[in-house]
Amino acid sequence: VTTTSTPTIDLTDVDTFAANRHHEMFDWLRANDPVHWQPPGETGGFWSLTRYDDVAAAYTDHTTFSSAGGVMLGGSFRNEVDTAANRMLVASDPPRQRMLRQVMRGVFSPANIDRVAARVEALVDRAITTALADGGCDFATAIAPELPVGALMAIIGISYEDAHELVRLTHEMVGYRDPAVAGAGGDDRLRLAGVQADIFEFFADLVRARRADPRDDLVGILLRAKLNGRPLPEEDILYNCLNVAVGGNETTGYTACSGLIALMDHPDQHERLCADPGLLDGALAEMLRMASTNAYTHRVATRDVEIGGRAITRGESVVLWNVSANRDETHFADPHRFDLARTPNRHLTFGTGIHRCVGAQLGHTELATLFRRVIAAPARFTPAGEPTRLRSNFMLGVTGLPVHLARRSS
């Protein structure tokens, strides 16, 4: 990666991300224009924070950097006044965020995490056994989705088929600019609104079912919740179901693909991990850092503020680029190198501060369950073609990953 020539900087150009060439932009920005203003275009104008220290500082200063403008630039829930503001956990500021988070934590209890691990283990086992019999598969469609599917079955209490349908819907929502995922034709924004409406309908049906037959799952927890003595309005319940569905479905499967690519690209480290499974936690941290699946999150400045000599005005959009912070050479030596023994490894893949991913432990458990099975398999995954990447600058997804699964020679 070169930092000497100036690449064209357009952080909304999803083709640059799909071509996996975005690191060139971020390397250059960190060195030359770390607090970068992108003029209005595809979206309104926005500031980009690209250095680790600036990103971490903005995460922790939630008074200056509000979440109520939504987390996705120019996409979901991004209006003058966000429709999800202070309704959906991730698009809320304190005090509402604190109360909602308290409620949502019930979903991520140790018992639920154990349930997810058991589901994912069974599904991944079955998928790997099938792939082994077939000599390979498309890992992105045959194995990775079993992670969010297992999680949905365990914490939302839906069937395998419904869970796959929900994953398909959130993939379409987040991949609304990728014709291979969301279909071509028509207006991007209309497509996005349409699929969001479908997801709301999915959850509205579930809320009806759970009202009639109460359970101790996500919807049950939200139905029972009281904030300031009042139950949550139905719309808020739907927004938070959506938050869990997108938060869970659009991250772990894609991270699993990026993690497998890293192992296949580094057979020596792959061997080392197979020989010493004690290295798995470090390997997962490094996979999460390198993948930075949730590339950025979005905030709105609540006051005029200066960062790195640039004047940010109240009301302006500020984007916190996890993907760039995670490769900041002042925090990670040789940052583009995959090193499963890297220490320390304080990546920002789950964010930090009050919004730090409430599903981080669950996500980690899903990935650990999968990779424990991958490294214990009697066969080794090797590439069978180039990966296909999602046309998105928000989720760095892998939508196609052909692999061979061949028995180990030794």
Residue 259 engages ligand HEM in binding (rule: CB under 6 A): no
The C-alpha angle 402, 406, 410, rounded to 5 degrees, equals: 145
Residue 404 engages ligand HEM in binding (rule: CB under 6 A): no
Of the pair 74, 359, the CB lying nearest ligand HEM is at: 359
- Beta strands per DSSP E along 39-155: 46-49, 65-66, 136-138
Among the listed residues 18, 357, 401, 403, the single contact to ligand HEM using CB under 6 A: 357
Looking at 163-171, 209-217, 225-233, 289-297, which segment touches ligand HEM (CB under 6 A)?
289-297
**Binding residue count for ligand HEM, defined by CB under 6 A:** 26
Determine contact, residues 132/405, Cβ cutoff 8 Å.
Answer: yes
Of the pair 380, 392, the CB lying nearest ligand HEM is at: 392
Among the listed residues 38, 66, 196, 255, the single contact to ligand HEM using CB under 6 A: 255
Determine contact, residues 388/20, Cβ cutoff 8 Å.
Answer: no
Among the listed residues 11, 25, 55, 89, the single contact to ligand HEM using CB under 6 A: 89
What is the longest distance spanned by two Cα atoms in the chain?
63
Token pair of 244 as six digits? 């869990």
Token pair of 409 as six digits? 């020679």
Among the listed residues 7, 74, 220, 248, the single contact to ligand HEM using CB under 6 A: 248
Residue 62 engages ligand HEM in binding (rule: CB under 6 A): no
Among the listed residues 87, 210, 355, 389, the single contact to ligand HEM using CB under 6 A: 355
**Least CB distance from residue 96 to ligand HEM, whole Å?**
11
**Cα 324 from Cα 82, distance rounded (Å):** 26
**Cα 303 from Cα 312, distance rounded (Å):** 8
* Listed residue (264, 257, 279, 258) closest to 345, CA to CA: 279
Residue 123 engages ligand HEM in binding (rule: CB under 6 A): no
**Least CB distance from residue 30 to ligand HEM, whole Å?**
19
* Listed residue (407, 358, 363, 349) closest to 89, CA to CA: 358
8-state DSSP, 217: S
**Which positions touch ligand HEM (CB under 6 A)?**
67, 71, 89-90, 101, 151, 243-244, 247-248, 251-252, 255, 293-294, 297, 322, 349-351, 355, 357-359, 362-363
